[in-house]
Amino acid sequence: MPCFSYLQRVSLLFLAVQHASGVNVSVSLLAPSSAPIISPSLVSFSIEQDRWTDWVGTTSRNQFFFNTLDNLRELTGEPPQIRIGANSEDHTNFGQNVQFSQATFPAVSATVPYPEATSIIVGDGYYETAQFLPPNTHVIWGLNLGQNNLTTAFLEAKSLVKAFASSPIKDSGITLDAIEIGNEADLYSNNGLRASTYTSTQYVKEWIQFATNVTAAAQLSSSSPTSPKFWGAAFAGSSHSTSGFSPQAIFSEGILSSAPGALISTISEHRYSGSFCAGSGGLLQDLMTKSTIRSNLTQFTPDIVATHAKNLDYVLGETNSYSCHGAPGVSNTGGAALWTLDYLLFATQLGISRVFFHEGIGFKYNLIQPVTLTRSTLDGTPLATPLPPHIQPQYYAAIIAAEAIGNTGNTRAVELTINNARISGYAFYEEATLARAVLINSQAFFTTDTTSRTSTHIDLAISGTGSPTKMTVKRLFVPHADDTTGLTWGGQTYETSDAKVSETLQVQTANVSDGVDIHETEVVMLSFL
């Protein structure tokens, strides 16, 4: 598209917009008692283990990746938490003579242009590279359960805790929060790692055996507040009952009453909104749709309730749009940024404390591409010109969420009731008083649309004595839902060579009584003055 300034683009957008009917939205000046406190590290990341050192660096840090994390830290005061593991977690072995890692990869395919490694051997230096994360980062690391080798888990655990006891990591305040033993054990019966008759009862027995071994190797302690703990479950799906694989099932089978089970601090489950494993993609509008986002997440309510009843934390430890690394033209688009924002903010309303978006080198659904790529992420064909490190549209959702949460450490948020199938909204409270609101219009506006872009007028009714009368308006500009570049947040871009924000900030001041227009495929943040 032609190169226009932010103000020119906004002006053109307004000229092209057709106004739709208005929507009234009630907002409380004071935080409802039900509004949860939102973690500053709500947006966190799950990193595919096989190419971890490409993300973080080996002998020096990957400055691009560091910057993407530090941008979020600057907004919330806390860096994202990092989980290293996933599929390749169960294909990783330890080699005393390996410095960092050695990996074997399967053939590239059009469906999976950047496949996970089938075999990884790591050495001490592999774990020591955590020193290149932002200071005060909390880390969760996955150990191999899939290959059913106690020695492997023992050696990995020894090397892992040794690395986190080293001066470069300790001096940066980087901590090993938890250890995850095995990834998606509920799929072991399908992927050849166990017999087809493998059950959660067998999993619990194996987990206790491995966790006992790891506890001894790493000298973990349930009575020490600084000792790493365990993440439990890490299942790909859930039966949401005491049969099959679920938190409820492993609770009923005694995992928490075991000695290592006392070290479980968090239950992790995984969720993808669809699958691209067979090469059949979904529709972008379906991904973005408000009702779909809610149905994808509310099914986990029984698991969350059961987890909280045991006084444990609940996280989505691995999630993104479509499994098998995303669907082209869906997962890598501007529309996916709106999905990401609504998805992670709605998750907070269900009792999910953090959302770990899964990332891998060259994956289509990445928020961040941290290294230069030489083949297409969409179909694996060689690129005429290598693609340098860059952020993808979803990254803007992380920035917006971080800005909405702020750096007070005690921000609360509540979903707003909006009688519109395409518009979502959330109010954010600091010191229990309304500070900001985020509105999301998930109606997709495509490059192929021949009609004008519409907008919806939102009238705000803020209840409470001393309600604000002025607000600033900041917009996420998305050229089209299916565009993969050209987004701006308040006139600024993160699509830069170093992932640092560029261009001049553009916000407007408005009267609260005037309300606000929100266009198709747009996010608006209102900051109350």
Q: How confident is the model at residue 14, as a pLDDT?
A: 44
Domain locations along the chain: 24-34+411-528, 43-405
List, in sequence order, every beta strand (DSSP E) within 5-163.
Answer: 18-28, 43-48, 82-85, 92-94, 101-104, 119-122, 138-143
Residue 73 identity: R
d(CA 407, CA 399): 13
Q: How confident is the model at residue 21, as a pLDDT?
A: 67
Residue 79 identity: P
Q: How confident is the model at residue 283, as a pLDDT?
A: 85
What is the SS3 assignment for 294? helix
Pick from 242, 150, 253: nearest CA to 202: 253
Tokens of 125: 């230096």
Q: Could you tell me which residues come within 8 angstroms of residue 22 by beta carbon, excluding any fewer than 6 positions away?
A: 456, 457, 458, 459, 515
Q: What is the DSSP letter of 183?
A: S
Q: Which CATH architecture has domain 24-34+411-528?
A: Sandwich (2.60)
Neighbours of 311 (CB within 10 A): 7
Phi-psi region of 57 (alpha: psi -120 to 50; beta: other; left: phi over 0): left
* Residue pair 148/206 in contact by the 8 Å Cβ criterion: yes
Report the alpha-carbon angle 40-44-45, nearest 5: 165
Q: Which letter, b or e, does each residue of 200-210 get, where b requires 16 or more Cβ atoms within 10 Å of its Cβ?
A: bebbbebbbbb
Pick from 458, 472, 467, 464: nearest CA to 511: 472
* Residue pair 219/162 in contact by the 8 Å Cβ criterion: no
Q: How confident is the model at residue 84, as a pLDDT?
A: 98
Residue range 43-405, CATH number: 3.20.20.80
pTM: 0.95
Residue 449 identity: D
**Structure-token match 């994808």, residue found:** 296
Pick from 460, 418, 452: nearest CA to 436: 460
The DSSP H or E segment spanning 403 is helix 394-405
* Residue pair 92/120 in contact by the 8 Å Cβ criterion: yes
Q: How confident is the model at residue 4, as a pLDDT?
A: 46
Pick from 140, 168, 305: nearest CA to 232: 140
* Residue pair 334/17 in contact by the 8 Å Cβ criterion: no
d(CA 271, CA 256): 23
Q: What DSSP string runs through 95-107?
A: -TT-SSEEEE---
d(CA 123, CA 126): 6
pLDDT in tens for each of the 529 residues of the chain? Answer: 444 454 455 444 444 445 556 899 999 999 999 999 999 999 999 999 999 999 999 999 999 999 999 999 999 999 999 999 999 999 999 999 999 999 999 999 998 999 999 999 999 999 999 999 999 999 999 999 999 999 999 999 999 999 999 999 999 999 999 999 999 999 999 999 999 999 999 999 999 999 999 999 999 998 899 999 999 999 999 999 999 999 999 999 999 999 999 999 999 999 998 878 876 666 899 999 999 999 999 999 999 999 999 999 999 999 999 988 888 899 999 999 999 999 999 999 999 999 999 999 999 999 999 999 999 999 999 999 999 999 999 999 999 999 999 999 999 999 999 999 999 999 999 999 999 999 999 999 999 999 999 999 999 999 999 999 999 999 999 999 999 999 999 999 999 999 999 999 999 999 999 999 999 999 999 999 9
Q: How confident is the model at residue 268, as a pLDDT?
A: 98
Q: How confident is the model at residue 277, as a pLDDT?
A: 80
Q: How confident is the model at residue 1, as a pLDDT?
A: 40
d(CA 508, CA 526): 10
Pick from 82, 94, 91, 144: nearest CA to 124: 94
* Number of residues that this document lists for the chain: 529
